[in-house]
Amino acid sequence: MDLHEYQAKELFRAAGIPVPPGEVATTPAEAEKLAAKFGGTVVVKAQVHSGGRGKAGGVKLAKTPAEARAHAEKILGMEIKGLTVRKVLVAPGEQIATEAYVGVLIDRAKQAPVFIVSAAGGIDIETVAKETPEKVRKLVVDPRYGLLPHQAYWLANFLYDDEGLIKQASKIMSQLYDCFVSNGASMAEINPMITTPSGEVKAIDAKMSIDDNELFRRPEVAKMRDTEAEPPSEALARTAGLSFVKLDGNVGCCVNGAGLAMATMDLVKYYGGSPANFLDIGGSSNPDKVVAALQIITSDPNVKAILFNIFGGITRCDDVANGILEAMKRIDIKPPIVIRLTGTNEEVALEILAKAGFFAYTSMDEVVEKAVQLASA
């Protein structure tokens, strides 16, 4: 789960990291009021789950409250990488002497949190790491001990020569690590971490992603989810316990298992079609899940055909067959449905469907080809 900048900053502040003040506005009038309250130059920043906000025109400096209002008017409602901006953060402008990058994330290969720091801040760290690896210092943290003080110092020492700055930055590294762990993050980033002409180190931007698997035990973090920032169909899927990602095609897919779901989407493309979604109904064959899945798929007007691909291992094919029939009773489904069921209790399932007038395939290729054909008809 991605957090907005203002939310990540709240967690940073709670961890003791020096973050300048800032407040959120949802209307231009609120932005103007906040600018007047802070006084002087302020920055107006789009709050969306996307990088490249500055390049897209979503970050602007305003010298007066009226200018802040004008910027907010433009930024609110603007689309950045397909996401609509609904909130802006208004914060006092900072005097910047230097900019650095500090990030911590889970490294899959090392199976541990890894710190990445660079004195080349404010820009894309992946590019810096690739093109000029000497400008980046990395540290693998042993998760059993956490970030040790001398390691924090080693990282800070790579960024600054001044002992005062090194001390402040070391402390921020340790605080960032604690914030990362105590909130169950998979990524936390300060970009840029600045120094001011008077010798202070501060975090003026914040980015954080939380491991979805942590949310059950962190209700206060889970509450930060911005349901407006995701398509309504994905919010609905989450409540129903389904894994769903909306795509642009016209073949609706309902599959059990994530790998098989991806392979099914790929096969739709192989046969010349285009998948409308990724959907994994999971191991359970609860009819309610099938109903929810069909509701979500049919809410997309692009869907011209719906395809079920079920390989019954733990999932019983007869349960899914009953779920499909139950869903047909409860909701009005216009696009044609084609079904493939194989595995546990396949024979019973085919009989149930045949009685209801459905033909079910047992091969994945046949059902996908048929669905693509129906969708393009």
Q: Does 153 bind other proteins (CB under 8 A)?
A: no
Looking at the Cβ atoms of 126 and 161, the one nearer to other proteins is: 126
Q: Which stretch binds other proteins (CB under 8 A): 27-35, 292-300, 323-331, 358-366?
A: 358-366
Q: Does 222 bind other proteins (CB under 8 A)?
A: no
Q: What is the dihedral sign for C-alpha 268, 274, 280, 284?
A: negative
Catalytic, out of 101, 160, 177, 361? 101
Site for other proteins in 281-310 (CB under 8 A): none
H or E stretch including 283?
none
Token output for 74: 């433009």
DSSP 106: E
311, 325, 336, 348: residue in contact with other proteins (rule CB under 8 A): 311
Pairing type for strands 185-195 and 201-203 reads: antiparallel
**Count of beta carbons in the 10 Å neighbourhood of residue 277:** 26
Q: Does 144 bind other proteins (CB under 8 A)?
A: yes
30, 280, 300, 319: residue in contact with other proteins (rule CB under 8 A): 280
Cβ(253)–Cβ(279) below 8 Å: yes
Side-chain-facing half-sphere of 37: CA atoms under 13 Å? 13
Give phi and psi for 4, each to the nearest 5.
Answer: -75, 160
101 in catalytic set: yes
Supply the minimum distance, in Å, between the C-beta of residue 366 and other proteins: 10
- Cα 307 to the center of its chain, rounded Å: 27
Looking at the Cβ atoms of 152 and 281, the one nearer to other proteins is: 281
- Catalytic residue ranges: 101, 189
**What residues line the site for other proteins (CB under 8 A)?**
106, 108-109, 111-113, 126, 142-144, 181, 184, 186, 211-214, 216-217, 243, 245, 247, 255-263, 265-270, 275, 278, 280, 311-314, 342-344, 363-365
